[in-house]
Amino acid sequence: MVLPSMYLARAAFDWAIPSRSLVSLFQVGLGMLLFSLLSATIALTNRYLTLIITKTAILKMRVQLLERLFIIPREIYRQSDYVHWHTTIVQDTERLDIMSNNSLTVVLPSVVTTISLVILLWYWNPLLLALMALISPLAFIYNYYARRKLKYTTPLFLRAFEQFSKGILFTIRSLDLIHIQSAQEWEWFRQKESIKNLYHKSIQVAWLNSAYTLTQNNLLTIAKLILLIGGGWAVIGNTISLGELIGFYIATNLLQTALQSILGTIPVFISGQASLDNIYRFFHYPISQPYNGQIQVDWQGKLSLTAITFSHGKTPILSDLSLTLWPGQVIVILGPNGCGKSTLIDLILGFYRPNSGEIVADELSYRDIDIASFRQRIGVVRQENFFFPGTVWENLTYGLNDHPESEVNHVLEIAMADYFIQQLPQGLQTKIGEDGNLLSGGQRQRLALARSLLRYPKMLILDEPTNHLDQEAIAELMANLKKVQSRPGILIVSHNLKLTEQADQVLEMNDGKLRLVSPLI
């Protein structure tokens, strides 16, 4: 559309205006308007198509990142920075989206326009184009050093912003700890330093971006001034017509707009490149699942661990451990903190694979079965259970298809959670706060148990249940569990000797080994 506009502008000044023909001038103006509307239509169509392309690509990337999040080994997950992962999946993909959009909707059309205009201007008047090009070495040198500076400062700003976000999130989650420790002033100072760091980094990046844009604009303006002086001298000397100069000047304005568009996206590209590096690293975390079996097992509840040895790095945790759990059986494993009880639970859940030995569900090895599907038949109540800021109902039924309220009420009764839920302002629809902090420790424990029972597990694992439940409550709970129609096997790990009264078998763990204490009480 540039060439017709240039010729129409030349026609207006070299023909229509000198001939004093209003009709001709109107025709020229109408032609320029039609070409402008056509150009806008093409630009909107291009914008729509590129949006579809870039948004679809980002959609697929975010889905792949989410999928990868689910298969990252637990060892890496436990050692990683969750906030950094959140930043990568949310903020870095958004920056990449912005960069991609700029690539297709701004940079690509502007590059095509720039090349076309340079060729056209060279054909139109190579001498005037050469005059404008006198400023290009200075622009190139400045662009080189400015980009280097931005490449250095932009990642620092992004890290400062991430630290600020992490600090505020920590403060919100830790308000109780801060008040209990009377650490308001200490934490305020710590977060203030993070805010000040972000302040300095953001000013530095914003100033560099502004200085970069303004300097490039001024250099382009200088080039146009050179054109105006040189072109005006050529008009005075009758080397070119006024219409030719105006047409050339219009094309130069379009060239300036295209170059400004390209140069203005450089900070966006530098930020996007830093985000792309983070996404690349996330995609290249080592992925090695403990088990890759595919068999869907109809597990009846028997589980055998034979000669299990396991270590974290060079630190031995379990040594030559063997254990068989039968359907409906209650087993209590006693032992001090740090003796390997929690590791044993993680092995049963298939989070880790033993260094040696074998785990068998009924008659199938863990190597052959689909662990994710198998895990659905195991209910786990940890010492500290996770709850999200939703309602009681939402936390109970998380990850499950619709359940009749009668089933939910039944498992609540078994878990002895029905009474306190009835006392809540909105019953099952009561919101429980972040991590369930609107409930007591015992209430959260009962709710976690009900959530596990709603899966109708073949095995129920209770990790230190006496942390929040007294002996009387444990006795009542065990009595309820033994009355369940499809009675699950129950594995209790604890350091509380009183739990042995509820057991069919008692074992003691020490130094990663199990010793039988009491068979079939």
The residue ranges of every structural domain in the chain are: 2-283, 303-519
Handedness of CA 65, 66, 70, 76 (dihedral sign): positive
Among 344, 342, 352, 351, CA closest to 305: 344
Among 260, 233, 259, 256, CA closest to 245: 233
Rounded mean pLDDT of 290-295? 88
> What was the pLDDT predicted at 13?
62
Rounded mean pLDDT of 351-355? 90
**What is the token pair recorded at 221?**
């303006």
If you ran DSSP here, which 8-state letter would residue 295 be given?
B
Q: What percent of the chain has pLDDT over 70?
A: 93
Half-sphere exposure of 84 (CA within 13 A, CB side): 11
Rounded mean pLDDT of 232-249? 78
- CATH number for the region 2-283 comes to 1.20.1560.10
Scored b (16 or more CB within 10 A) or e, 470-497 reads: eeebbeebbeebeebeebbbbbbbbeee
Is residue 232 within 8 Å of 249, Cβ to Cβ?
no
> What was the pLDDT predicted at 520?
45
Rounded mean pLDDT of 305-314? 87
Q: Which residue carries 């229509």 as its tokens?
A: 16
If you ran DSSP here, which 8-state letter would residue 487 be given?
P
Which backbone phi and psi does 408 adopt, to 5 degrees?
A: -60, -45
> In angstroms, how far is the first alpha carbon of the chain from the final one?
92
CATH superfamily membership of 303-519: P-loop containing nucleotide triphosphate hydrolases (3.40.50.300)
Tell me: pLDDT of 276 over 50. yes
> What was the pLDDT predicted at 354?
92
**What is the token pair recorded at 28?**
């020229």
Residue 358: pLDDT band with limits 50, 70, 90: very high
pTM: 0.74
Which backbone phi and psi does 51 adopt, to 5 degrees?
A: -60, -45
Scored b (16 or more CB within 10 A) or e, 225-262 reads: ebbeebbeebbeeeebeebbbbbbbbbbebbbebbebb
Distance CA(506)–CA(514), nearest Å, equals 10
Tell me: pLDDT of 207 over 90. no
Note the pLDDT tens digit of each residue in 31-68.
777 777 777 777 778 778 888 888 889 889 988 888 88
Note the pLDDT tens digit of each residue in 486-499.
788 999 988 777 77
What are the DSSP calls for 381-433, one per residue? E-SS----SSBHHHHHSTTS----HHHHHHHHHHTT-HHHHHHSTTGGG-B--
Those residues whose C-beta lies under 8 Å from the C-beta of residue 315, and which sit 6 or more positions away, are: none
